[in-house]
Amino acid sequence: MVSMELTRGLGLRDCVVIGLGAMIGAGVFAALGPAAGAAGSWMLLALGIAAVVAYCNAQSSARLAALYPVSGGTYVYGRERLGPFWGYLAGWGFVVGKTASCAAMALTVGSYAWPEHAHVVAVAAVVVITGINYVGVQKSALATRVIVGSVLAVLATVVVAGISGSHSAAIVLDDEIGPYGVLQAAGLLFFAFAGYARIATLGEEVRDPQQTIPRAIMLALAGALAVYTLVAVAALLTLGSGGLAAAHDPLARVVEAAGAGWLAPVVRVGAVLAAAGSLMALILGVSRTTLAMARDGHLPATLAAVHPRYSVPHHAELAVGAVVAVLAATVDLRAAIGFSSFAVLAYYLIANLSAATLSTAENRPARWVPVVGALGCVVVGFSLPIGSVLAGLAVLALGAAVYGVRRNIPAG
């Protein structure tokens, strides 16, 4: 009989690195430009709003993850606290939204590595990273640690060059910015913070999850916020909100405008490493939620198989990799970010509602945390571009319809 259990081999450092790998790649290299286009010079305020929503979501997720240390994240929490439908809807939103995120990160790899053939490189990146994940989560954590260390060194160089270099090329965005633009930018930047979910979805593979998961989530979130703030300040000083909004490769443009153009190739390599690290962590998280949903019969049972040697959900990882490869060959980067943000905010809405049901004995967060988190998810989510909102609502409605049809089909 094939084992259905995963191995608890990840410690605090591994979990923090996996979370940082998921967040830093997405935020710094993919979301700053669109966010500047929406919020202009108010982008730092948008970053603060996104951080508050992310903090509340992280607190709610951490308390729930400690209580339910198994694979699946909010899919499990919603099922246990609110009922099967809400757990299913959270899992559906996570798998669909984060699959779009995987495609966005793969395309980021392609755009920086070989812009003329971005889609081809993106597909190749998905194939390679799926192979790394297939041979074990420990090896994935080790690879992510190397990537995160390299990317942080590159970002430190960008910050120093941007702050200390020339600011003569800075262009202020002329468009009038209102509250809607700031909230829309917060939604786009939230895409960057959502990486801490990877830690919760790996709950079944973490040593001492009750202590490790909450600490790792908050450490990863704090580290990512510090990095985002420094890089955003350097980018705004050097390019201005207008220059940042117009740039497809903003951090390479920062060092060029600051008078350190020789660093641009280094920054491009850092972008590829960051996006690859984020892609690796994203595929890990999506495959674990797919595993949990397959165990409960919401997805084909074969996706619940665990490899007898590598102790990973290998069928789920191969299926996720195949879908992401198809998307990476066809979708647009910025559209993927907006759609993913909406679906993941819906996922965290359910996480906050689940956390609101915890009792004192279950180590509930402060009462305001899930309230602010839930309201933030709704307000920021519906402030995203209308195309992303409509696509997200359509996908969630499709998921609900599938659930209803399956529930009404007689057993046997």
CA–CA distances in Å: residue 52 to residues 27, 57, 159? 16, 9, 23
**Three-state SS letters, 295-335:** HCCCCCHHHHCCCCCCCCCHHHHHHHHHHHHHHHCCCCHHH
Which amino acid would we find at residue 154?
V
Kindly give the confidence (pLDDT) of every residue in the chain, 412 residues in length, as a single tens digit, with 9 standing for 90 and above: 444 566 777 888 888 887 777 677 666 887 888 899 999 989 999 999 999 999 899 889 888 988 887 767 788 899 999 999 999 999 899 889 989 999 999 988 988 788 788 899 999 999 999 998 888 655 556 666 777 788 889 999 999 999 999 999 899 887 778 899 999 999 999 988 877 666 766 667 788 877 888 888 888 888 889 999 999 999 999 999 999 988 877 888 899 999 999 999 999 998 898 888 778 878 887 888 888 888 888 888 899 999 888 888 999 999 999 999 999 999 888 888 899 999 999 999 999 999 999 999 998 899 999 999 999 999 999 999 999 999 999 999 999 999 998 887 765 4
Closest CA to 25 of 143, 130, 133: 143
pTM for the structure as a whole: 0.85
* Tokens representing residue 255 in the block: 């060092």
Where are the chain's structural domains? 12-405
Phi, psi for 167 (deg, rounded to 5): -115, 15
Superfamily of the domain at 12-405: Amino acid/polyamine transporter I (1.20.1740.10)
CB 79 within 8 A of CB 64: no
Percentage helix, strand, coil, to 5, in the chain? 80, 0, 20
Cβ contacts of 21 within 8 Å, gap of 6 or more: 144, 147, 148, 195, 277, 278, 280, 281
Phi, psi for 249 (deg, rounded to 5): -130, 65
Per the listing, tokens 């010079």 go with 41
